[in-house]
Amino acid sequence: MKIFIDTANVEQIREVSGWGILDGVTTNPTLVAKEKMDFETIVRETCAIVDGPISAEAMSTRSEDIVKEARKLASIHKNIVIKIPMTEEGLKATKTLSKEGIKVNMTLVFSPAQALLACKAGARYISPFVGRLDDIGHNGMEVVAQILDIIDNYGFDAEVIVASVRHPGHVVEAAMMGAHIATVPYEVLKKMFKHPLTDQGIDKFLQDWEKVAKR
């Protein structure tokens, strides 16, 4: 399974890239608003760090405007993927862009029906928001499983990005069910390699090594 980081913080992207496990990056307007850099600078610096898909969101609401914005974003770097919300206008824009070879990440997906439409329109990536579904009492990971079945049934050229990840358990569930990608916040990524028994084991090894060194 590919692991993306869900952030617009360039330092976080650089740090996680240094771990050797990072396959791509997703951003959104909320994440960008937290940073002091302008949007285009963030995108350019991110592309210089990570050689993989970098999702940048189009903010227009009409299909014609989304297409224009997407073309401009895609011209920044070959790895740019355009995030487009699941709407009628978004589907129209996705169809146009997919024909032009511009990859689309259909975002704010909350149902298998929406995912099916996104696949039909030519979206390269589908982003179901599992955490937000869990928040309203739905099973977000069940929706991911349904979307994966649809893609497998019809051989759509699309990958599922498990998004709105809240904890390491979401990532593990995604991997166990065969999801293609999980996009994970920095804080959750940090939790993934932590375990108290690992820390205890390291402390024990160091203590024992000190005894060896004193001989």
Q: Which residues of 130-156 are buried (b: 16+ CB within 10 A; e: fewer)?
A: beebbeeeeebbebbbbbbebbeeeeb
Amino acid identity at 178: G
3 state SS of 52:
coil
* Nearest-angstrom CA–CA distance, 145 and 131: 15
Whole-angstrom distance between the N-terminal and C-terminal Cα of the chain? 46
Indicate which residues carry an active-site annotation: 83
Reduced DSSP (H G I as helix, E B as strand, rest coil) percent helix, strand, coil of the chain, to 5: 55, 20, 30
Please, which residues have CB within 8 angstroms of residue 84's CB and are 6 or more apart in sequence? 57, 58, 66, 70, 90, 93, 94, 104, 105, 106, 107, 123
Q: Which helix (H) or strand (E) holds 151?
A: helix 140-154
Lookup: tokens for 207: 């203590």
